[in-house]
Amino acid sequence: MTLYGKLLEREAANNPIKVGVIGAGQMGAGMIAQISTIPGMEVRGISDIQLESAKRAAEAYNDSSAKKVDIQVTTDFKEVIESDDVEIIVDATGVPEVGAKIALATLMTKKHLVLLNVEVDITIGPLMKKMYDAAVSMVHPVTGLFPYANAGELFVYLGIANGVVEAGYSQGSLAVRYFLAGIVVIFIRGVVTERITKFLMKRAS
Ligand SMILES: NC(=O)c1ccc[n+]([C@@H]2O[C@H](COP(=O)([O-])OP(=O)(O)OC[C@H]3O[C@@H](n4cnc5c(N)ncnc54)[C@H](O)[C@@H]3O)[C@@H](O)[C@H]2O)c1
């Protein structure tokens, strides 16, 4: 099915993608205006440090949208990120430091993040990817339950398994132990990453 088809499905099911936009400047306001005419998507929150810009974008949205939406408007982007009425965040601020804070706060809520903010992408993008991957590995069943799906892990496992077989032992009990150790290690990594992230966020704010 095409992306447009999926959007039409969500529209028909009255289950639109609920978008929060941070930064209602040229790109943010333009994107908000576009979403007002796209089926299956609704803007539910807008944040800008210039409240007037956010208000103007919300009014323009409702002027051109067939369905009037109650849009949260605020100068504090955390309110949009943490809103139960928003499931995906768009960063359209263009400020690297602000983008880093938005990314961390979004990660903590486990919501999706879309970057128009290319400045944050080219500065701390690689670091952000590592943090998001670490968070995902905490909850993703493939890497969580089958750590040796990773080629590097498989190499290590087979090396140990060959030694075990040559020494005359069964490979079965090694597989079970390796499997259980993998789950424990992934779990600890997830908890530690989450705690460190929370600590750094508290120190930064
Ligand atoms: N303008 C373009 O043609 C274009 C094209 C492609 C990509 N982009 C990218 O899109 C992003 C936005 O560009 P733009 O041209 O819309 O910039 P802009 O300056 O017009 O808009 C940025 C908005 O973010 C707001 N903002 C700043 N700090 C904030 C904070 N802490 N909380 C909430 N809002 C905050 C500003 O008040 C402003 O309204 C940039 O990353 C840019 O590189 C722009």
Average pLDDT, the chain: 86
Whether residue 47 has its Cβ less than 6 Å from ligand 1: yes
pLDDT digits (tens, 9 = 90+) for 27-65: 999 999 999 999 999 999 999 999 999 999 999 999 999
Protein residue with its CA nearest to atom 10 in ligand 1: 116
Ligand 1, from 46, 53, 93: best to mutate by most atoms within 8 Å of Cβ? 93
pLDDT of res. 143: 44
Longest Cα–Cα distance of the chain, Å, equals: 76
Q: Which of the two residues, 128 and 96, has the higher pLDDT score? A: 96
Whether residue 50 has its Cβ less than 6 Å from ligand 1: yes
Distance CA 162, CA 168 (A): 10
Please state the pTM of the whole predicted model: 0.75
pLDDT of res. 29: 97
pLDDT of res. 136: 55
Dihedral sign from CA coordinates of 15, 21, 24, 29 = negative
Q: Which of the two residues, 143 and 36, has the higher pLDDT score? A: 36
pLDDT of res. 151: 62
pLDDT digits (tens, 9 = 90+) for 15-25: 999 999 999 99
Per-residue tokens: 4: 């447009």
Distance CA 120, CA 124 (A): 6
Whether residue 26 has its Cβ less than 6 Å from ligand 1: yes
Whether residue 93 has its Cβ less than 6 Å from ligand 1: yes
Q: Is the pLDDT of residue 120 over 80?
A: yes
Distance CA 71, CA 55 (A): 9
Ligand 1, from 27, 31, 55, 90: best to mutate by most atoms within 8 Å of Cβ? 27
pLDDT digits (tens, 9 = 90+) for 160-191: 778 888 888 887 787 777 778 777 877 887 78
Residue that is written with structure tokens 């990120």 in the block: 81
Across the range 91-95, mean pLDDT stands at 96
pLDDT of res. 142: 44
